[in-house]
Chains A and B, each alone.
Chain A
Amino acid sequence: MVFNIIVVLLPILSLIYAALSGSLPALSSAVVEGAHSAVTLCLSICGLICFWQAVMEVMRQSGLADGLSRLLRPVLKKLFPTAASDRDTMNALTANVSANLLGLGNAATPAGINAAKGLQRLSGHTDASDELCLLVVMNTASIQLIPTTVASLRAALGAQSPFDILPAVWLCSACSVTAGLCAAKLFERLSKR
């Protein structure tokens, strides 16, 4: 739905604005350039993304990812007391959070969906429970430790050291997740009144 609007709106707005400002001749080369750069961009970020995925698969197979899950469990138990009462839900939840930290989107989403289903079953409502809202907020605020897609994009576009944004990304992620969790907790209180 959103895509349909964006894809149609962009050329229409460009045509109108270009007609008004007299820059119509520039549009056709922009189409060619855009389509071309979609492919070159994908090719140039491909290597680093695949390599990182490869390293993360090693991490998963060697049991390091499970170690991270175990490390997270005590913290998550405090945040999700209802989920902690059910083993499968808790396992899905810790797997979801650790996969998110490592940037394994392919593993994070199925685990997160299982956790969401588990939380829904435990609450028995079709309204999102407080803990389900928390889970969603944690997944909508990126907690990925190594943002490889962005780093590869920066490398492809000629950045001197593509990873130098890491400290800023960490601080920023920490702030946004904290703000999201605090907001969710605040809304919980307000809805109980």
Chain B
Amino acid sequence: MTLAGSLVIPLLVGSILMYALFHGTDVFSAMTLGAKDGLKTVFSILPALIALLPGIYMLRASGALDALSALLQPALEKIGIPSETVPLMLLRPLSGSAALAVGSDIMSASGTDSFAGRCAAVILGSTETTFYVIAVYFGAAGIKRSRHAVPAALIADITGFFTAVLFVNLLF
């Protein structure tokens, strides 16, 4: 399973570039154009991270995060959810950069290859900033009543949280 995971990227990159070359694409200029777009993405994350990370580090340094984890541990242990990931689950639907900041805090505090660290990574990789997406789409389309979009989207998020823990348990 881990071998498959580590082979996917090199194989994918190799075959995409090969295909493009044989189809007469100007590969190098396309790549530099894309990389420039990537820079824009990264630099759009940076200001939010600078605003958020000091607060999250303060919360960890004050001991409040550990206290919260300890408080929730007995209840969460029964359903197998690592208590460190709770702040991430609460923030994930609300803010992408806050989730990224909290996720990186979990990974560095518990270790990237720890159970909690892996759960945090899978949660980040398989869920989205639900409320932001809903606001953007319905705002642009001029929708007044969102009907069942919010509950259905939140059911998807919660399923994502639980299956993340489940699959990390099964696969690692």
A contact residues vs B (CB 8 Å cutoff): 2-3, 6-7, 9-11, 13-15, 17-18, 21, 23, 26-27, 29-35, 37-39, 41-42, 45-46, 49-64, 105-106, 109, 112-113, 116-117, 119-120, 126-128, 132-133, 135-137, 139-142, 144, 146-147, 149-151, 153-154, 157-169, 171-173, 175-177, 179-181, 183-184, 187-188, 191
- What are 10 pairs between A and B in contact, CB < 8 Å? A18-B62, A39-B50, A57-B34, A127-B144, A136-B153, A140-B129, A150-B103, A151-B125, A163-B6, A171-B167
Q: A162 to chain B: closest CB distance in Å?
A: 8
Judging by beta carbons under 8 Å apart, are B34 and A56 in contact?
Answer: yes
Q: Given A23-B62, A49-B42, A147-B126, does the pair A120, B141 have CB atoms closer than 8 Å?
A: yes
Closest to B9 in A: A163
Bound complex: CA A18 to CA B20 (Å): 57
Give the interface centre of B5, B48, B151, B157 by most chain A CB atoms within 10 Å: B5
Bound complex: CA A147 to CA B159 (Å): 18
Please report which residues of chain B, range 118-145, place their CB below 8 angstroms from some CB of chain A when the two chains form the complex: 118, 121-122, 124-131, 133-134, 136-138, 140-145
Bound complex: CA A54 to CA B51 (Å): 28
A-B pairs with CB below 8 Å: how many? 358
Q: B97 to chain A: closest CB distance in Å?
A: 9
Bound complex: CA A117 to CA B36 (Å): 29
Bound complex: CA A172 to CA B43 (Å): 29
Judging by beta carbons under 8 Å apart, are B125 and A184 in contact?
Answer: no
Judging by beta carbons under 8 Å apart, are B140 and A183 in contact?
Answer: no
Judging by beta carbons under 8 Å apart, are B58 and A64 in contact?
Answer: no
Interface residues on B, range: 35 or more
Q: Given A127-B144, A140-B133, A163-B5, does the pair A57, B156 have CB atoms closer than 8 Å?
A: no
Interface SS of chain A: helix
Q: Given A13-B64, A106-B37, A158-B112, does the pair A57, B54 have CB atoms closer than 8 Å?
A: no
Q: A18 to chain B: closest CB distance in Å?
A: 4
Bound complex: CA A2 to CA B155 (Å): 21
Judging by beta carbons under 8 Å apart, are B30 and A113 in contact?
Answer: no
Bound complex: CA A136 to CA B149 (Å): 7
Could you say which residues of chain B place their CB within 8 Å of the CB of A191?
Answer: 147-148
Q: B43 to chain A: closest CB distance in Å?
A: 8
Judging by beta carbons under 8 Å apart, are A57 and B121 in contact?
Answer: no
Judging by beta carbons under 8 Å apart, are A52 and B38 in contact?
Answer: yes
Bound complex: CA A164 to CA B2 (Å): 5
Bound complex: CA A109 to CA B53 (Å): 27
Q: B138 to chain A: closest CB distance in Å?
A: 7
Judging by beta carbons under 8 Å apart, are B34 and A169 in contact?
Answer: no
